[in-house]
Amino acid sequence: MRLNQQQLDQFRTEGWLFLPELFTPEETAVLGREAEAIFHTPREEIWRERTGAPRTAFAAHTYNEAFRLLGAHPRLIEPIEQVFGEHLYMHQFKINAKAAFDGDVWQWHQDYGTWARDDGMPEPRAMNIAVFVDEVMPINGPLMLVPRSHTEGVLAAGHDLATTSYPLWTLDQDTVTRLVAQGGIVAPTGKPGGVMMFHGNLVHGSAGNITPYPRKIVYLTLNAVSNHIRTPTRPDWIAHRDFTPIVPVADDALAAYARGWRAAAA
């Protein structure tokens, strides 16, 4: 799969691109089922809100077949190889949950700021790919982006260890206010299977979810192999040390896995 020129231009100018329903209901249904099963296991890779609700499950592609296939899916790998012009490895893989009623906020931040400070990533040549597993609505904590903020480079940030259960390098209110005055805020929404890609320096965050509608999103952080991390400080299930280039699976691999599971369950 390759992006067209209009899509490439939007990404370079705005810092983000949304591809609706890139994965089928059959494919996203198996991801949702597997994600729920993972969140009910007592693994160290799973972070929880202070209420006990799941927040993030790291590295699911290393112990779950459906997510392994997603992590090497050509619909995700090929567009990013096109943008970076080289092979990729998986820097980070996580399933973020906004549990019904209990999903907490993600403060305003840039991802590359964390990758640089905590992992020693040389340049912002890594990108987040967000795969919607549930429907993302305006009311259940959609990801909010500040268009064109990626052109500001790495911004000053403070290490917030108190606001939520997950430590994050966050931006102050004056910085966010200035950037929003220039670029506004967008919050892409859509059905399961939608995919959003956004620049590592794009400022983003999300509000809490107090609705009955859960919101799960899988995030792949795909890094150019030449840009591999140099001085990681976090566990390897958060910041991976395997820099082997990803070899894409067949385009129908996830669908075939879903059909196999359904047949076994019948």
Q: pLDDT band at residue 1, thresholds of 50, 70 and 90?
A: confident
Residue 226 pLDDT:
98
**Number of domains making up the chain:** 1
Residue 64 token pair: 């779950």
Residue 163 pLDDT:
58
Residue 84 token pair: 């970076």
Average pLDDT over residues 110-125: 95
Decide if pLDDT at 266 tops 90: no
Decide if pLDDT at 153 tops 60: yes
Backbone angles phi, psi at 183, to 5 degrees: -120, -10
Q: What is the pTM of this model?
A: 0.93
Q: What is the mean pLDDT of the chain?
A: 93
Q: For residues 200 and 119, give the distance between their C-alpha atoms in angstroms, rounded to a whole number.
A: 14
Average pLDDT over residues 205-232: 96
Give the CATH number for residue 128.
2.60.120.620
Residue 162 pLDDT:
52
Residue 49 pLDDT:
79
Which amino acid appears at position 165 of this protein?
A: S
Residue 103 pLDDT:
79
Which amino acid appears at position 166 of this protein?
A: Y
Give the residue numbers spanning the domain of 71: 5-265
Residue of 171, 177, 181, 184 lying closest to 144 (CA atoms): 184
- The answer to whether the CB of 39 falls within 8 A of the CB of 46 is yes
Report the Cα 182 to chain-centroid distance in Å.
25
Q: pLDDT per residue over 53-82, tens digit each? A: 888 999 999 999 999 999 999 999 999 999
Residue 166 pLDDT:
64
The DSSP output letter for 244 is: P
Residue of 164, 165, 168 lying closest to 203 (CA atoms): 168
